[in-house]
Structure 1
Amino acid sequence: MLRLGIKQKNWLLSAHVAFAALWTGTVLSMFLLALRNQHSASAEVLQALNSAINLLDDYVVIPAAIGSLFTGTLLCWLTIWGFFKHYWVIAKWIATVALIVFGTFWLFPWANATTAISETQRLQALENPLYNFDAKGVLVGTIVQVVCLVVIIAVSLLKPWGRRTVKAQEQTNSAPAS
Protein backbone atom coordinates (compact mmCIF):
# COMPACT_ATOMS: atom_id res chain seq x y z
CA MET A 1 0.00 0.00 0.00
CA LEU A 2 1.19 3.50 -0.82
CA ARG A 3 2.53 5.39 2.24
CA LEU A 4 3.57 9.00 2.52
CA GLY A 5 7.14 9.96 3.33
CA ILE A 6 7.78 12.03 6.45
CA LYS A 7 7.89 15.36 4.56
CA GLN A 8 4.75 14.55 2.58
CA LYS A 9 2.95 13.49 5.75
CA ASN A 10 4.00 16.69 7.51
CA TRP A 11 2.73 18.86 4.62
CA LEU A 12 -0.57 17.01 4.57
CA LEU A 13 -0.84 17.22 8.37
CA SER A 14 -0.12 20.96 8.17
CA ALA A 15 -2.93 21.40 5.65
CA HIS A 16 -5.25 19.37 7.90
CA VAL A 17 -4.42 21.54 10.92
CA ALA A 18 -4.86 24.71 8.84
CA PHE A 19 -8.32 23.62 7.64
CA ALA A 20 -9.34 22.73 11.21
CA ALA A 21 -8.09 26.07 12.54
CA LEU A 22 -9.86 27.97 9.76
CA TRP A 23 -13.10 26.07 10.41
CA THR A 24 -12.89 26.66 14.17
CA GLY A 25 -11.97 30.35 13.93
CA THR A 26 -14.66 31.10 11.39
CA VAL A 27 -17.40 29.38 13.39
CA LEU A 28 -16.25 31.32 16.46
CA SER A 29 -16.51 34.52 14.39
CA MET A 30 -20.02 33.53 13.31
CA PHE A 31 -20.94 33.02 16.98
CA LEU A 32 -19.65 36.48 17.89
CA LEU A 33 -21.58 38.07 15.01
CA ALA A 34 -24.75 36.20 16.03
CA LEU A 35 -24.25 37.33 19.63
CA ARG A 36 -23.85 40.95 18.52
CA ASN A 37 -26.86 40.58 16.24
CA GLN A 38 -29.21 39.95 19.17
CA HIS A 39 -29.04 43.62 20.11
CA SER A 40 -29.24 45.29 16.69
CA ALA A 41 -31.05 48.61 16.73
CA SER A 42 -30.65 49.26 13.03
CA ALA A 43 -32.17 47.37 10.11
CA GLU A 44 -28.96 47.83 8.12
CA VAL A 45 -26.81 46.40 10.92
CA LEU A 46 -29.21 43.49 11.43
CA GLN A 47 -29.15 42.62 7.75
CA ALA A 48 -25.39 43.16 7.42
CA LEU A 49 -24.56 40.88 10.35
CA ASN A 50 -26.89 38.16 9.06
CA SER A 51 -25.38 38.50 5.62
CA ALA A 52 -21.85 38.28 7.05
CA ILE A 53 -22.74 35.11 8.98
CA ASN A 54 -24.17 33.60 5.81
CA LEU A 55 -21.13 34.56 3.71
CA LEU A 56 -18.71 33.11 6.27
CA ASP A 57 -20.71 29.89 6.33
CA ASP A 58 -20.91 29.62 2.54
CA TYR A 59 -17.38 30.63 1.59
CA VAL A 60 -15.17 29.70 4.55
CA VAL A 61 -16.83 27.13 6.84
CA ILE A 62 -18.03 24.77 4.12
CA PRO A 63 -14.69 24.64 2.22
CA ALA A 64 -12.72 24.38 5.50
CA ALA A 65 -14.92 21.52 6.76
CA ILE A 66 -14.60 19.68 3.45
CA GLY A 67 -10.84 20.34 3.41
CA SER A 68 -10.51 19.02 6.95
CA LEU A 69 -12.47 15.88 6.12
CA PHE A 70 -10.54 15.34 2.87
CA THR A 71 -7.08 15.81 4.41
CA GLY A 72 -8.11 13.64 7.37
CA THR A 73 -9.17 10.92 4.94
CA LEU A 74 -5.83 11.11 3.15
CA LEU A 75 -3.94 10.99 6.46
CA CYS A 76 -5.82 7.85 7.47
CA TRP A 77 -5.40 6.22 4.10
CA LEU A 78 -1.77 7.12 3.45
CA THR A 79 -0.19 6.82 6.90
CA ILE A 80 0.14 4.17 9.58
CA TRP A 81 -2.78 5.70 11.53
CA GLY A 82 -5.37 3.96 9.36
CA PHE A 83 -9.13 4.41 9.63
CA PHE A 84 -9.92 1.98 12.45
CA LYS A 85 -6.64 1.26 14.23
CA HIS A 86 -6.97 3.98 16.88
CA TYR A 87 -9.94 5.01 19.00
CA TRP A 88 -8.99 8.69 18.74
CA VAL A 89 -9.16 8.55 14.93
CA ILE A 90 -12.59 6.91 15.05
CA ALA A 91 -13.81 9.54 17.53
CA LYS A 92 -12.54 12.35 15.30
CA TRP A 93 -14.23 10.83 12.26
CA ILE A 94 -17.58 10.49 13.98
CA ALA A 95 -17.42 14.00 15.43
CA THR A 96 -16.31 15.59 12.15
CA VAL A 97 -19.02 13.89 10.11
CA ALA A 98 -21.62 14.76 12.77
CA LEU A 99 -20.59 18.43 12.66
CA ILE A 100 -20.76 18.51 8.87
CA VAL A 101 -24.23 16.90 8.93
CA PHE A 102 -25.38 19.32 11.65
CA GLY A 103 -24.01 22.28 9.70
CA THR A 104 -25.58 21.11 6.45
CA PHE A 105 -29.07 20.30 7.69
CA TRP A 106 -29.52 22.75 10.56
CA LEU A 107 -26.97 25.57 10.88
CA PHE A 108 -26.80 26.41 7.17
CA PRO A 109 -30.61 26.63 6.74
CA TRP A 110 -30.95 28.70 9.94
CA ALA A 111 -28.32 31.18 8.69
CA ASN A 112 -30.00 31.39 5.28
CA ALA A 113 -33.42 31.96 6.87
CA THR A 114 -32.21 34.75 9.17
CA THR A 115 -30.62 36.52 6.21
CA ALA A 116 -33.74 36.20 4.04
CA ILE A 117 -36.11 37.34 6.80
CA SER A 118 -33.94 40.31 7.78
CA GLU A 119 -33.69 41.40 4.13
CA THR A 120 -37.45 41.43 3.65
CA GLN A 121 -38.74 42.43 7.09
CA ARG A 122 -35.84 44.69 8.10
CA LEU A 123 -36.01 45.56 11.83
CA GLN A 124 -39.47 43.96 12.19
CA ALA A 125 -37.65 40.64 11.81
CA LEU A 126 -36.79 40.88 15.51
CA GLU A 127 -40.50 40.45 16.28
CA ASN A 128 -40.90 37.45 13.96
CA PRO A 129 -40.95 34.15 15.94
CA LEU A 130 -39.43 32.24 13.02
CA TYR A 131 -36.57 34.73 12.76
CA ASN A 132 -35.97 34.53 16.53
CA PHE A 133 -35.96 30.72 16.42
CA ASP A 134 -33.49 30.66 13.52
CA ALA A 135 -31.29 33.37 15.08
CA LYS A 136 -31.14 31.41 18.36
CA GLY A 137 -30.35 28.29 16.34
CA VAL A 138 -27.40 30.06 14.72
CA LEU A 139 -26.22 31.35 18.10
CA VAL A 140 -26.47 28.00 19.90
CA GLY A 141 -25.38 25.98 16.86
CA THR A 142 -22.19 27.95 16.38
CA ILE A 143 -21.15 27.67 20.01
CA VAL A 144 -21.85 23.91 19.92
CA GLN A 145 -19.68 23.65 16.82
CA VAL A 146 -16.85 25.65 18.39
CA VAL A 147 -16.87 23.49 21.52
CA CYS A 148 -16.94 20.28 19.46
CA LEU A 149 -14.13 21.50 17.20
CA VAL A 150 -11.97 22.41 20.20
CA VAL A 151 -12.59 18.92 21.62
CA ILE A 152 -11.64 17.36 18.26
CA ILE A 153 -8.42 19.41 18.22
CA ALA A 154 -7.64 18.34 21.80
CA VAL A 155 -8.22 14.69 20.87
CA SER A 156 -5.86 15.13 17.90
CA LEU A 157 -3.13 16.46 20.12
CA LEU A 158 -3.58 14.20 23.15
CA LYS A 159 -4.56 10.96 21.34
CA PRO A 160 -6.12 9.81 24.61
CA TRP A 161 -7.47 6.37 23.80
CA GLY A 162 -4.62 4.77 21.92
CA ARG A 163 -4.64 1.80 19.62
CA ARG A 164 -7.47 -0.70 19.31
CA THR A 165 -6.81 -4.37 19.84
CA VAL A 166 -8.69 -6.54 17.42
CA LYS A 167 -8.38 -10.17 18.53
CA ALA A 168 -10.25 -11.69 15.59
CA GLN A 169 -7.84 -10.05 13.15
CA GLU A 170 -4.79 -11.08 15.17
CA GLN A 171 -5.96 -14.71 15.30
CA THR A 172 -6.64 -14.73 11.55
CA ASN A 173 -3.24 -13.19 10.77
CA SER A 174 -1.36 -15.61 13.07
CA ALA A 175 -3.23 -18.78 11.99
CA PRO A 176 -1.13 -21.06 9.78
CA ALA A 177 -2.22 -21.40 6.17
CA SER A 178 -3.61 -24.85 5.31
Structure 2
Amino acid sequence: MLQLSPTGTKILKILHLLVVMTWTVSIIAMWVLSWISYDTGQELFMYYKCMVWIDRLLTVPAAILSIGTGFFYGLLTPWGFFKQRWIIVKWIVCGVVTLLASLVFYPACQHAYGTILQNYDAALNNNQVLTSLKMARDASFYQAIALIFLVVISVFRPWRKHQPLNVK
Protein backbone atom coordinates (compact mmCIF):
# COMPACT_ATOMS: atom_id res chain seq x y z
CA MET A 1 0.00 0.00 0.00
CA LEU A 2 1.33 3.42 -0.98
CA GLN A 3 2.08 5.68 1.99
CA LEU A 4 3.34 9.22 2.19
CA SER A 5 6.71 10.03 3.68
CA PRO A 6 6.70 11.91 7.01
CA THR A 7 7.29 15.17 5.12
CA GLY A 8 4.49 14.38 2.67
CA THR A 9 2.16 13.61 5.56
CA LYS A 10 3.01 16.95 7.19
CA ILE A 11 2.36 18.83 3.94
CA LEU A 12 -0.98 17.04 3.54
CA LYS A 13 -1.84 17.87 7.16
CA ILE A 14 -1.02 21.56 6.57
CA LEU A 15 -3.21 21.63 3.45
CA HIS A 16 -6.02 19.87 5.28
CA LEU A 17 -5.83 22.29 8.22
CA LEU A 18 -5.82 25.33 5.93
CA VAL A 19 -8.92 24.24 4.00
CA VAL A 20 -10.73 23.19 7.19
CA MET A 21 -10.00 26.63 8.68
CA THR A 22 -11.25 28.31 5.51
CA TRP A 23 -14.43 26.21 5.48
CA THR A 24 -15.15 26.90 9.16
CA VAL A 25 -14.37 30.61 9.05
CA SER A 26 -16.44 31.14 5.89
CA ILE A 27 -19.45 29.50 7.57
CA ILE A 28 -18.93 31.66 10.67
CA ALA A 29 -18.65 34.74 8.43
CA MET A 30 -22.01 33.89 6.85
CA TRP A 31 -23.54 33.48 10.31
CA VAL A 32 -22.16 36.85 11.47
CA LEU A 33 -23.37 38.45 8.25
CA SER A 34 -26.86 37.07 8.85
CA TRP A 35 -27.22 39.32 11.92
CA ILE A 36 -26.74 42.53 9.94
CA SER A 37 -29.98 44.47 9.67
CA TYR A 38 -31.20 45.90 6.39
CA ASP A 39 -33.74 48.62 5.80
CA THR A 40 -34.00 48.72 2.03
CA GLY A 41 -34.33 46.20 -0.73
CA GLN A 42 -30.91 47.24 -2.01
CA GLU A 43 -29.33 46.40 1.37
CA LEU A 44 -31.11 43.03 1.35
CA PHE A 45 -29.77 42.39 -2.15
CA MET A 46 -26.21 43.23 -1.05
CA TYR A 47 -26.57 40.93 1.96
CA TYR A 48 -27.57 38.03 -0.26
CA LYS A 49 -24.89 38.90 -2.80
CA CYS A 50 -22.24 38.73 -0.05
CA MET A 51 -23.63 35.39 1.15
CA VAL A 52 -23.53 33.96 -2.37
CA TRP A 53 -19.97 35.17 -2.96
CA ILE A 54 -18.70 33.80 0.36
CA ASP A 55 -20.37 30.50 -0.44
CA ARG A 56 -19.07 30.26 -4.00
CA LEU A 57 -15.55 31.57 -3.43
CA LEU A 58 -14.74 30.16 0.00
CA THR A 59 -17.19 27.67 1.46
CA VAL A 60 -17.77 25.31 -1.46
CA PRO A 61 -14.12 25.07 -2.62
CA ALA A 62 -12.91 24.68 0.96
CA ALA A 63 -15.48 21.95 1.68
CA ILE A 64 -14.51 20.05 -1.47
CA LEU A 65 -10.79 20.39 -0.73
CA SER A 66 -11.31 19.41 2.90
CA ILE A 67 -13.10 16.23 1.90
CA GLY A 68 -10.45 15.60 -0.76
CA THR A 69 -7.51 16.05 1.59
CA GLY A 70 -9.31 13.92 4.18
CA PHE A 71 -9.73 11.21 1.56
CA PHE A 72 -6.03 11.30 0.69
CA TYR A 73 -5.17 11.40 4.38
CA GLY A 74 -7.12 8.17 4.88
CA LEU A 75 -5.72 6.59 1.73
CA LEU A 76 -2.05 7.53 2.06
CA THR A 77 -1.42 7.45 5.81
CA PRO A 78 -1.74 4.74 8.46
CA TRP A 79 -4.89 6.42 9.87
CA GLY A 80 -7.10 4.83 7.22
CA PHE A 81 -10.82 5.47 6.84
CA PHE A 82 -12.39 3.16 9.41
CA LYS A 83 -9.62 2.19 11.82
CA GLN A 84 -10.63 4.72 14.48
CA ARG A 85 -14.16 5.48 15.67
CA TRP A 86 -13.50 9.23 15.80
CA ILE A 87 -12.55 9.21 12.10
CA ILE A 88 -15.79 7.42 11.26
CA VAL A 89 -17.70 10.09 13.22
CA LYS A 90 -15.85 12.79 11.27
CA TRP A 91 -16.85 11.25 7.93
CA ILE A 92 -20.49 10.93 9.03
CA VAL A 93 -20.75 14.50 10.38
CA CYS A 94 -18.94 15.90 7.34
CA GLY A 95 -21.31 14.03 5.03
CA VAL A 96 -24.39 15.23 6.89
CA VAL A 97 -23.18 18.86 6.88
CA THR A 98 -22.37 18.69 3.18
CA LEU A 99 -25.66 17.05 2.20
CA LEU A 100 -27.80 19.44 4.23
CA ALA A 101 -25.96 22.46 2.84
CA SER A 102 -26.25 21.16 -0.72
CA LEU A 103 -29.81 19.87 -0.63
CA VAL A 104 -31.58 22.26 1.76
CA PHE A 105 -29.69 25.46 2.48
CA TYR A 106 -28.26 26.29 -0.95
CA PRO A 107 -31.47 25.74 -3.00
CA ALA A 108 -33.52 27.84 -0.56
CA CYS A 109 -31.03 30.69 -0.68
CA GLN A 110 -30.77 30.55 -4.47
CA HIS A 111 -34.55 30.74 -4.81
CA ALA A 112 -34.72 33.70 -2.41
CA TYR A 113 -31.86 35.40 -4.26
CA GLY A 114 -33.80 35.07 -7.52
CA THR A 115 -36.86 36.62 -5.85
CA ILE A 116 -34.77 39.52 -4.57
CA LEU A 117 -33.32 40.11 -8.04
CA GLN A 118 -36.85 40.48 -9.48
CA ASN A 119 -37.87 43.25 -7.07
CA TYR A 120 -35.60 44.43 -4.26
CA ASP A 121 -38.21 46.27 -2.20
CA ALA A 122 -41.00 43.69 -2.59
CA ALA A 123 -38.59 41.04 -1.30
CA LEU A 124 -38.45 42.83 2.07
CA ASN A 125 -42.02 41.66 2.77
CA ASN A 126 -41.84 38.28 1.02
CA ASN A 127 -42.38 35.45 3.55
CA GLN A 128 -40.33 33.01 1.50
CA VAL A 129 -37.35 35.39 1.48
CA LEU A 130 -37.68 36.05 5.22
CA THR A 131 -37.91 32.32 5.91
CA SER A 132 -34.81 31.81 3.80
CA LEU A 133 -32.98 34.46 5.84
CA LYS A 134 -33.83 32.64 9.06
CA MET A 135 -32.82 29.33 7.46
CA ALA A 136 -29.49 30.83 6.40
CA ARG A 137 -28.84 32.08 9.93
CA ASP A 138 -29.78 28.76 11.54
CA ALA A 139 -27.99 26.61 8.97
CA SER A 140 -24.76 28.58 9.20
CA PHE A 141 -24.86 28.40 13.01
CA TYR A 142 -25.36 24.63 13.09
CA GLN A 143 -22.80 24.07 10.34
CA ALA A 144 -20.25 26.14 12.28
CA ILE A 145 -20.93 24.13 15.46
CA ALA A 146 -20.56 20.86 13.53
CA LEU A 147 -17.29 21.96 11.92
CA ILE A 148 -15.88 23.15 15.25
CA PHE A 149 -16.91 19.77 16.71
CA LEU A 150 -14.93 18.06 13.93
CA VAL A 151 -11.85 20.11 14.83
CA VAL A 152 -12.26 19.23 18.51
CA ILE A 153 -12.50 15.50 17.90
CA SER A 154 -9.51 15.74 15.55
CA VAL A 155 -7.47 17.17 18.39
CA PHE A 156 -8.73 15.00 21.25
CA ARG A 157 -9.30 11.82 19.20
CA PRO A 158 -11.93 10.30 21.49
CA TRP A 159 -13.40 6.83 21.08
CA ARG A 160 -10.06 5.26 20.24
CA LYS A 161 -9.69 1.55 19.83
CA HIS A 162 -9.32 -0.18 23.16
CA GLN A 163 -5.65 -0.97 23.71
CA PRO A 164 -5.23 -3.72 26.33
CA LEU A 165 -2.44 -3.21 28.81
CA ASN A 166 0.58 -5.37 28.19
CA VAL A 167 1.12 -6.69 31.73
CA LYS A 168 3.75 -9.35 32.40
TM-score (norm 2): 0.92
Deviation track 1:25-69 (CA, whole Å, cap 9, x = no partner) reads 001111111221xx2112221101101101111221111000000
Q: Equivalent of 1:127, from 125, 133, 136?
A: 125
TM-score (norm 1): 0.87
2:19 aligned partner: 19
- Corresponding letter in the other structure for 1:144: Y
1:168 aligned partner: none
User: Which range is displaced more, 113-122 or 22-31?
Assistant: 113-122
- Corresponding letter in the other structure for 1:33: L
1:90 aligned partner: 88
1:57 aligned partner: 55
Aligned equivalents of 1:58, 1:86: Cα separation in 2:
33
CA contact under 8 A between 1:85 and 1:164: conserved in structure 2? Answer: no
Aligned equivalents of 1:115, 1:28: Cα separation in 2:
20
- How many residue pairs are counted as aligned between the two chains? 163
Root mean square deviation of aligned Cα:
1.3
Rg larger for: 1
1:149 aligned partner: 147
How far apart are 1:164 and its partner, in Å?
Answer: 6.6
1:75 aligned partner: 73
Aligned equivalents of 2:52, 2:162: Cα separation in 1:
40
Displacement over 3 Å in runs of 4+: none
1:10 aligned partner: 10
- Corresponding letter in the other structure for 2:54: L
CA contact under 8 A between 2:40 and 2:124: conserved in structure 1? Answer: no
How far apart are 1:124 and its partner, in Å?
Answer: 2.3
1:41 aligned partner: 39
Deviation track 1:139-169 (CA, whole Å, cap 9, x = no partner) reads 100000000000000011110111278xxxx
How far apart are 1:129 and its partner, in Å?
Answer: 1.0
Aligned equivalents of 1:56, 1:99: Cα separation in 2:
17
Aligned equivalents of 1:18, 1:114: Cα separation in 2:
31
How far apart are 1:113 and its partner, in Å?
Answer: 2.2
Distance 1:164 1:55, change over 3 A: farther
Question: Which structure 1 segments of 5+ residues have no match?
Answer: 166-178
Q: After superposition, where does 1:110-121 map in structure 2 within 5 Å?
A: 110-121=108-119
Aligned equivalents of 1:163, 1:5: Cα separation in 2:
25
Aligned equivalents of 1:23, 1:163: Cα separation in 2:
29
